Amino acid sequence: MEHQLVAYYRLELAISHQQEVEEWMAQSACHQKIYAHTIRIWKESRIDLGSVSYCKEHAWRRLQQVIHQLL
Each domain of the chain, given as residue ranges in start order, spans: 2-70
pTM of the model: 0.63
* Rounded Cα–Cα distance for residues 11 and 58 (Å): 27
Q: For residue 46, what is the DSSP state?
A: T
| The pLDDT value given to residue 54 | 57
* Phi/psi-derived region of residue 68, left when phi > 0, alpha when psi is between -120 and 50, beta in every other case: alpha
| The pLDDT value given to residue 68 | 84
Q: Tens digit of pLDDT for each residue in 6-53? A: 889 988 888 889 999 999 999 999 999 999 999 998 888 875 544 445
Phi, psi at 47, each rounded to 5°: -65, 135
